[in-house]
């Protein structure tokens, strides 16, 4: 019995030694990493940026010098004045610069007109100078209707042989309601009643129709 144990002992020792040698190797072996499962989530497409809009050039008002004709008809309303200076007179003038359109908020502007008419050696010179106010009745269109009024200091010179009057340059008070229409900054039509305080017994008030254009 003792001899069998002695014979088996080397076998057990060898087995134990082999077991001890395999344990460190197993401990040092890296753990297997499981293969990743492919994701089934939908892949969102990258947003496509819109092409930038090309800025449109701003329309700037023309700064060029503009000039054009202005024509008017002045109709005296007093019989005495008509008998001395004629029923009507046509005035021709020169307009400078663009025609400023009236706005719905109202706009002030310089008011200047010159009337001159003669008959049988008599003459009438009338030049109202003052300020005018115009208010547009519509907007957003090329044709703008407007109403307004003016307040003027009138420079007057009259000569009448029948009444022996030669006033020389005098001043008078003037005012006028008006109505008109402008066509962009190129043309206008206007009608006004021009009131003029009496000069040397003459009532020089009248109806004035005018039109103008700018090239």
CATH of the domain at 81: 2.40.160.20
Q: What is the mean pLDDT of the chain?
A: 80
Residue 211 has pLDDT above 80, yes or no: yes
The answer to the question of residue 22 being in a domain is: no
Which of residues 181 and 113 earns the better pLDDT score? 181
- Strands in the chain per DSSP E: 67-76, 88-96, 107-112, 115-119, 122-136, 143-160, 165-166, 170-183, 187-196, 206-213
Q: State phi, psi for 140 to the nearest 5 degrees.
A: 85, 5
Q: Backbone dihedral region of 15: left (phi > 0), alpha (psi from -120 to 50 degrees) or beta?
A: alpha
The answer to the question of residue 163 being in a domain is: yes
Task: Using pLDDT thresholds of 50, 70 and 90, give the confidence band for residue 35.
Answer: low
The answer to the question of residue 14 being in a domain is: no
The answer to the question of residue 107 being in a domain is: yes
Domains: count for the chain: 1
The answer to the question of residue 51 being in a domain is: no
The answer to the question of residue 23 being in a domain is: no
CA 87 to chain CA centroid, Å, is 43
The answer to the question of residue 132 being in a domain is: yes
pLDDT in tens, 120-175: 999 999 999 999 999 999 988 889 999 999 999 999 999 999 999 999 999 999 99
| Residue of 116, 139, 112, 129 whose CA lies nearest to 173 | 129
Task: Using pLDDT thresholds of 50, 70 and 90, give the confidence band for residue 106.
Answer: very high
The predicted structure's pLDDT at residue 58:
44
Task: Using pLDDT thresholds of 50, 70 and 90, give the confidence band for residue 113.
Answer: confident
Full-model pTM:
0.67
Range of the domain at 141: 67-213
**Cα–Cα distance measured from residue 82 to residue 77, given in angstroms and rounded to the nearest whole number:** 7
The predicted structure's pLDDT at residue 53:
58
């Amino acid at each position: 019995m003792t001899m069998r144990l002695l014979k088996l002992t080397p076998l057990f020792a060898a087995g134990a030694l082999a077991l001890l040698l395999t344990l460190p190797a197993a401990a040092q072996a890296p753990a297997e990493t499981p293969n990743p499962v492919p994701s089934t989530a939908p892949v969102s497409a990258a947003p496509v940026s819109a092409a930038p809009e090309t800025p449109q050039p701003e329309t700037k008002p023309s700064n060029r010098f503009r000039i054009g004709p202005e024509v008017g008809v002045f109709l005296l309303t007093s019989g005495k004045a008509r008998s001395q200076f004629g029923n009507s007179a046509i005035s021709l003038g020169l307009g400078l610069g663009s025609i400023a359109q009236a706005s719905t908020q109202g706009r002030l502007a310089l008011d200047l007109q010159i009337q001159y008419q003669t008959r049988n050696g008599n003459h009438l010179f009338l030049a109202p100078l003052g300020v005018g106010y115009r208010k547009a009745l519509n907007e957003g269109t090329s044709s703008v209707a407007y109403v307004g009024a003016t307040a003027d200091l009138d420079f007057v010179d009259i000569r009448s042989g029948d009444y022996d009057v030669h006033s020389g340059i005098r001043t008078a008070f003037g005012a006028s309601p008006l109505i008109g229409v402008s066509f962009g900054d190129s043309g206008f039509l206007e009608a006004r009643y021009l009131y003029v305080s009496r000069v040397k017994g003459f009532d020089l008030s009248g109806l004035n129709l005018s039109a103008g254009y700018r090239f």
